[in-house]
Amino acid sequence: MFLHLGADTVIPLKQIISITDMKAVRSGINEEFIKTMTEENLITDVSEGNAKSFVVTDRIVYLSAISATTLKKRAQFLNDSDEN
């Protein structure tokens, strides 16, 4: 199954490590993580400059304009429907 992150971007659910609210970037560890990923060119911004969440995968970090809560609900719904 795949998760739609916005801006015609979809990623496989099995690649997702975490979905986090951008408000959490204010905490030291998340701020440092985003800074390091940016320096390593491992961030893809699909939010058109309006990031509300970031999605960590096994390959890259995506910035999404869709809230972390909504993305988590979508991922859970897809996971649940896949089990049936």
- Which residues of the chain carry a pLDDT beneath 70? 78-84
Whole-angstrom CA distances from 15 to 29, 62, 83 are 22, 12, 18
- pTM higher than the cut 0.85: yes
pLDDT digits (tens, 9 = 90+) for 53-68: 999 999 999 999 999 9
